[in-house]
Structure 1
Amino acid sequence: MGGNDAGARAADARPGERVVGIVLVSHSAAVAASVAELALGLAAGGAPAPIAAAGGTEGGGLGTSSELISVAAARVDRGAGVAVLTDLGSAVLTVKALLAEGDELPEATRLVDAPFVEGAIAALVTASTGADLDAVATAATEAYDYRKV
């Protein structure tokens, strides 16, 4: 379960500062933590916005966990909103169910339709500049347009 360590360390970044937090929801704890670590490495310079990995199940298996997502969102919430990026369809459904419940996630939590890796990097870099939730969501979504050839 040490796979969430990178996200846990980053969640403590910029304490007390109003900044958008990022939650990465994957079916795998290792994938979520690795993407958080990559985003942190590429968002070098200054203090990064808080980011947390919420991967796998409480027992360490593959899947998604409402509890892990809620805990991660609370950990990165700094009062400016929380952007949640997901890997696969059932992770989206889990986050949508939490949002529908209304009291399981911080008030200004948004599910962002973005590619998981590129979107996480764009979201973290943008949030680390102090941008608002709309700008963070836009940057992550625009990652769909990144060309590789």
Structure 2
Amino acid sequence: MNLHQLLLYIEQRPSMFIDPVSLDSLYNCIRGFLMEKDFSDKVCEDDYPAFDLFHEWVIMKLGPDINLAYGWKKILQQKFLTEEQRLKAFFDLYNSFSKIKGVSYSLGVVGAQGEAKVIDYREHNIGLILLYDKTRYHFSDFNGMQNYAKYNFNFNIQEILDRY
């Protein structure tokens, strides 16, 4: 089972999976599922799009007056008054988020000191995500991402992509 399948079950019958039925309980369930997936040796079907982009999706959908430092749970708690409204908003946002189409690359590069590094580059219709050294960088266009990588990490993403 992947996270998408689990969330479909929870949306249909929340009281079977979370108690109390609240955004906090849902958040803890998601975190526990993702943590177990990270620590287990089981081969799991990858979720697509990756749930780590959900925060950006919530910000994009709920508007510019959102405090970007808050996670998706805190944003929904501040934006909606009741647990019922929060859960409805979560599932509405998640269902639209789950339809994102895009591509993902993992590339090996050599760092400035000759060390091996991995770049995860994801291109979605919500923007570009660059994962480098376990840090996520979000860009609205490829040129912005390319310039950032060139000046901060000393590598040219386009040259790397052209090799493949």
TM-score (norm 1): 0.24
Higher relative contact order (CA 8 A, sep 6+): 1
